[in-house]
Amino acid sequence: MPVSSHFFLPLGGLLSVLDDLKNAESLSDLAKVLGYRASALAFIVHQIPPSSKYTVFAVPKKAGGVRTISAPIDRLKTLQRHLSTILYECRAEIDSAHKLKPLSHGFRKSQSIITNAHQHIKSRYVLNADLEDFFPTINFGRVRGYLIKNNDFKLHADVATVIAQIACHNNELPQGAPNLSARVESEVASNASRPDEMADDMPF
């Protein structure tokens, strides 16, 4: 079960959420950052069988075919929401530090389909590209590797592993989970077009 929402302060001082995460070196440290007891986090990650963590079902797509939804059980969903909150705050810190205005309009608290559409009000034409099977291409290794190697994160390998275990199911990013997060964003600059992401939809 989650404990206090106070973040882990490994040096005894007031650190940012990103600093707390970067200073974490183990599952126990990550549990403190997430506001969980280590035993509770370990139980969800390691003791609940993977087959019992999600309910999988299909929903029809507007354009035909079906979309596979993997809905996490309540205990995992709560954990993923805690992780999502932490990663949102980290992304906000990173954007602020670099004075970046994010291009992505998906999975951001201040962005929506309305802010996405606003970018194209004066455009004569708008091309919308839907990336096929976007979520399954974000696998466990990509999530873990990004958190370890990205210059803004550079997390301890053990911490990155646990985060990837929380976020992924069957070695991919599931549709239906409330987790993610600090995505790997493509910063694309072009004089002719302006791509503005809505997750797997990219208008130009």
**Which of 24-33, 73-82, 110-119, 177-186 is least confident?**
177-186
* Domain encompassing residue 94: 17-118+132-193
Q: Is 22 contained in some domain?
A: yes
Answer whether 0.85 is exceeded by the pTM.
no
Q: Is 113 contained in some domain?
A: yes
What are 74-130's pLDDT values in tens digits?
A: 999 999 999 988 888 888 888 888 886 655 655 556 665 666 666 667 777 777 666
Q: Is 59 contained in some domain?
A: yes
What are 118-133's pLDDT values in tens digits?
A: 666 777 777 766 666 6
Distance CA 175, CA 179 (A): 10
Q: Is 38 contained in some domain?
A: yes
Q: Is 100 contained in some domain?
A: yes
Q: Is 164 contained in some domain?
A: yes
Q: Is 7 contained in some domain?
A: no
Predicted local distance difference test score (pLDDT) of residue 96:
86
Q: How many domains does the chain have?
A: 1
Q: Is 76 contained in some domain?
A: yes
For residue 156, pLDDT over 70 is answered with yes
Predicted local distance difference test score (pLDDT) of residue 35:
95
Q: Could you tell me which of 91, 55, 120, 83 has the C-alpha nearest to residue 182? A: 91
